[in-house]
């Protein structure tokens, strides 16, 4: 180990120049040096099986040879142009082919940016100001999205609480908050307020599944009230199915946002809708009053588009989603078996393509019921997994298509030891 470049050295350097010693995303006590296939390595050379996969984009694993080839083919032709380019146009075509609600798309650089424009687009189209959002729903970092994302105190619905400093109260006045999976609450808000532009929802909220009929219920209520339905598919797009959650659940929103997988690991996201809605990005179609100005230096970046296009081409091959679901289901079953062996009450929550464990005996249905009753248990679980070379976020486990049988066996053994650690913590 080169002492000058040990992980501790990088952490110390980060502490000097980065607030909270990091990029704001993830545990700053680990510095990743590289990723290959199903693994990442830290700066001390420790290997981990990667179930974080860049928070979702690296569904094919790190350094997929075909994606690398596509990127390397594009690089010498130019890295960014701020102008239309063929790869970006092809990527837009591929998204329109895949995603039911998209007749047209607009590229941006991050998922949060896509959500911000989706909200603005709904307001431009309907001429109404308010947005209904679900408590605990994550839609990036815009002022609207920061309302009741992870509220520390419980207030009565539909009051919005900002989770970030620096947001004026006036933003909260334009937001209505409802509990996820509570159709009656949404119905009564739509009855009471005739100035709602859109409902924005994650079709799988974090890892909480929509109950049967909930998403269709939202669709019907939106139609009845002239409100647009926005699905935030930044995570679920090209993961739950090739056509995203809207394909898997059979409910088509008016607008959706996409990110992560469509950029193949590079900064690229998009929002899409039918042409009549997307017309608000076209001044010549809607006139200057109704025009939504939108541009960005890196929008439609050709390197990101090349990586995304190749990733999507690979995902279209027969059997990919069956295999992903099979891998995910096996991981869920292993986890459940390890915990059940110790008699530890738990629920595996989510979808086979992303999930995590709750130490509870009731299925979480919304933000409040999904709050961990004993957060220490998840901490013990996650800490044990990390110490055994399992790299995951504290609240999610993302399977990738690159996992092999050795990875699964190593993970099974890590789950067993982590279950033992939780049992010990509980004094069982
Ligand atoms: C559902 C959802 N929406 C939006 C975002 C924001 O995307 P980005 O981090 O690319 O801004 C995320 C990020 O994880 C997300 O999970």
How do the domains of the chain map onto residue ranges?
Answer: 31-63+320-426, 65-315
1 pLDDT above the threshold of 60: no
Closest by CA to 57, choosing from 214, 324, 222, 259, is 259
Percent of the chain with pLDDT over 90: 96
Q: Which residues sit opposite 208 in a β-bridge?
A: 205
**pLDDT tens readout for residues 330-358:** 999 999 999 999 999 999 999 999 999 99
Please indicate whether residue 233, judged by its CB atom, sits closer than 6 Å to ligand 1: no
The set of catalytic residues is: 138, 232, 260
253, 259, 270, 308, best to mutate for ligand 1 pocket (most atoms within 8 Å of CB): 259
Percent of the chain with pLDDT over 70: 99
Contact 71, 307 (CB under 8 A): yes
**pLDDT tens readout for residues 136-166:** 999 999 999 999 999 988 899 999 999 999 9
25, 56, 109, 235, best to mutate for ligand 1 pocket (most atoms within 8 Å of CB): 235
CATH 3.60.15.10 fits 65-315, yes or no: no
- 66: tokens are 């075909």
Protein residue whose Cα sits closest to atom 9 of ligand 1: 111
Please indicate whether residue 263, judged by its CB atom, sits closer than 6 Å to ligand 1: no
- CA of residue 138 to ligand 1 center, whole Å: 7
pTM of the predicted structure, to 2 decimals: 0.97
Closest by CA to 314, choosing from 306, 326, 303, 325, is 306
What dihedral angle (degrees, nearest 10) is formed by the CA atoms of 206, 210, 214, 219?
A: 50
Q: How far apart are CA 239 and CA 98, in angstroms?
A: 12
Q: How many CB atoms lie within 10 A of CB 104?
A: 18
Please indicate whether residue 235, judged by its CB atom, sits closer than 6 Å to ligand 1: yes
Please indicate whether residue 265, judged by its CB atom, sits closer than 6 Å to ligand 1: no
**pLDDT tens readout for residues 211-270:** 999 999 999 999 999 999 999 999 999 999 999 999 999 999 999 999 999 999 999 999
Q: What is the DSSP string of 283-337?
A: HHHH-TTT------TTTT-HHHHHHHHHHHHHHTSTTHHHHHHHHHHHHHHHHHH
- CA of residue 55 to ligand 1 center, whole Å: 9
Protein residue whose Cα sits closest to atom 7 of ligand 1: 111
Query: So what's the pLDDT on residue 152?
Result: 83
Contact 383, 376 (CB under 8 A): no
Task: Give me the architecture of the 31-63+320-426 domain, per CATH.
Answer: Alpha-Beta Complex (3.90)
Q: How far apart are CA 251 and CA 164, in angstroms?
A: 32
């Amino acid at each position: 180990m080169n002492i000058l470049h040990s992980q501790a050295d990088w952490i110390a350097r980060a502490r000097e120049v980065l607030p909270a010693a990091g990029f704001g995303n993830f545990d700053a006590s680990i510095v990743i040096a590289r990723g290959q296939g199903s693994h990442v390595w830290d700066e001390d050379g420790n290997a981990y099986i990667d179930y974080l996969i860049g928070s979702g984009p690296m569904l094919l694993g790190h350094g997929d040879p075909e994606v690398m080839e596509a990127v390397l083919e594009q690089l010498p032709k130019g890295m960014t142009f701020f102008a239309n380019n063929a790869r970006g146009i092809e990527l837009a075509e591929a998204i329109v082919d895949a995603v039911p609600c998209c007749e047209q798309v607009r590229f941006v650089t991050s998922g949060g940016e896509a959500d911000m424009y989706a909200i603005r687009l709904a307001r431009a189209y309907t001429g109404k100001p308010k947005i209904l959002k679900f408590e605990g729903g994550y839609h990036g970092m815009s002022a609207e999205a920061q309302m009741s994302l992870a509220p520390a105190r419980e207030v009565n619905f539909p009051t919005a609480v900002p989770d970030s400093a620096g947001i004026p109260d006036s933003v909260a006045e334009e937001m209505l908050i409802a509990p996820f999976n509570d159709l009656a609450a949404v119905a009564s808000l739509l009855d009471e307020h005739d100035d709602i532009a859109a409902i924005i929802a994650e079709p799988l909220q974090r890892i909480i599944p929509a109950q049967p009929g909930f998403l269709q219920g939202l669709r019907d209520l939106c139609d009845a009230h002239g409100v647009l339905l926005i699905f935030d598919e930044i995570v679920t797009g090209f993961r739950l199915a090739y056509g995203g959650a809207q394909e898997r659940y059979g409910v088509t929103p008016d607008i959706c946002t996409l990110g992560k997988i469509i950029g193949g690991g590079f900064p690229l996201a998009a929002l899409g809708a039918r042409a009549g809605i997307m017309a608000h990005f076209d001044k010549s179609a809607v006139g200057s009053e109704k025009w939504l100005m939108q541009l960005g230096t890196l929008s439609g970046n050709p390197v990101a588009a090349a990586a995304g296009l190749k990733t999507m081409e690979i995902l279209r091959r027969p059997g990919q989603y069956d295999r992903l679901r099979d891998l995910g289901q096996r991981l869920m079953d292993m986890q459940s078996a390890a915990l059940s062996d110790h008699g530890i009450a738990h629920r595996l929550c989510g979808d086979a393509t992303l999930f995590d464990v709750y130490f509870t005996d009731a299925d979480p249905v919304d933000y409040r019921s999904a709050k961990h009753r004993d957060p220490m248990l998840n901490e013990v679980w996650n800490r044990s997994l990390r110490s055994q070379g399992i790299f995951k976020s504290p609240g999610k486990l993302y399977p990738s298509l690159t996992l092999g049988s050795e990875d699964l066996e190593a993970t099974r053994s890590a789950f067993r030891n982590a279950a033992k650690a939780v049992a010990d913590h509980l004094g069982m």
